[in-house]
Amino acid sequence: MLLEIKMAIVILAGLIAAYTDYKTGYIYDWLNYSFIILGAVLAIFSPNLIWAVIQFVIVFGLGYIFYRFGKIGGGDIKFFAGLTLYFPFFNGMPFLLVVLVLSSVLALIYYGIYYTIALLKKPTKDMIYFFIIAFVIAFFMGLTFVLYSYWYLGIIIFLLGFFSFTSVFLKNLIMQRFYRKEISISKLLDDDLIDMKQLSEKYAKVKPISTLDMFPLDSKAFKKLKQLLPRTAKVVVYRNLPIFGPFIALGIIASFIILTFLNLGFLL
C-alpha cells in the first residue's frame, strides 16, 4: 500500500509541477517544499532510507552548482532532489536517472522539432551547413544500429543525435533569436539570466560580480549590480527559457510503466 501511495504522490506532484511550469515558467517552492517534507517523512519507513538521504544530498548539491551556472532552474533541482526521497530505486534501477533520461529525450525531440521548423522559416547559409553536418553525424550513428538489425534503436539514435547536434551547433543562434531581451535596469528581476559578458564589456566596474557568460545573480549580487549601474543602463537578459516541467511529469509516468513491465537490470 505504501508503494502505491508514494507513486500516486509523485505522479500528482509531477502533474502539478507540469501545470505551473507551463502556465508561469516556475515550479513553485510551496510545491517543492511540501513534496520534500512529505518525502522525508515517508522515507523513514523505507528500507532504502540511507540511499534516499545520500541521493538527496548529491542531487541537491550538484543541482545547485548547475543552477548557479545558469544551466537549470532552481525549481527543477528541488523537485528532483525531492523525488529521490520517494524512490531512490524502483525495481532495482536508480529511479531519478531513468526519469532524467526519459524526460530529456522527450524534451530534446520536442524542442528539436520546434526549433528546426522555426529556424528554417528564415534560413541562413551557416544554419543549413550545421543542419547538414548534424544530419550526417546522426545518420551514421543510427546506421550502426540498423546494420545490427536494431532498426528501432537506429531511428531513436538518429533522431536524438540530429536534434542534439543541431541544438549544440545552433545554441547561440537559438538563444539570440528566441530568448534574448534588452531591458532597463529598473525592470531587472532577481531571477533573470543576465548576459554578464556583454554587461562587463560595457560597464567594467561590474566585472568582479561574475565573469560567466550567463548568470542568475543571488540577492546580494543583484543589489550590488543595481547600485553600480546608472538608472538609464540597459541589461541583456534571457527570459522565457524552455520549460521542462511537462517533460518531467511525462518522464515520471513513463519510468513507472517501463520499470514495472521491463527488466532493465542488464543496463547496470
The domains of the chain are located at 2-95+242-267, 108-175, 193-238
Q: Is the pLDDT of residue 207 over 80?
A: no
- Burial class of residue 2, CB neighbours in 10 A (0-12, 13-18, 19+): exposed
Identify whether the C-beta of residue 115 lies closer than 8 Å to the C-beta of residue 167.
Answer: yes
- State the pTM of this model: 0.79
Given this model, what pLDDT does residue 263 score?
59
Distances, alpha carbon 268 to alpha carbons 64, 84, 97, 103, 263, in Å: 27, 18, 12, 19, 11
- Burial class of residue 52, CB neighbours in 10 A (0-12, 13-18, 19+): buried
Q: Is the pLDDT of residue 232 over 90?
A: no
pLDDT band at 243; cut points 50, 70, 90: confident
- Where are the strands (E) in the chain, listed by range? 89-90, 93-94, 180-184, 193-195, 214-216, 234-238
CA nearest neighbour of 217 among 231, 244, 199, 204: 199
169-203 per-position pLDDT tens digit: 888 888 888 888 888 877 877 677 777 777 777 77
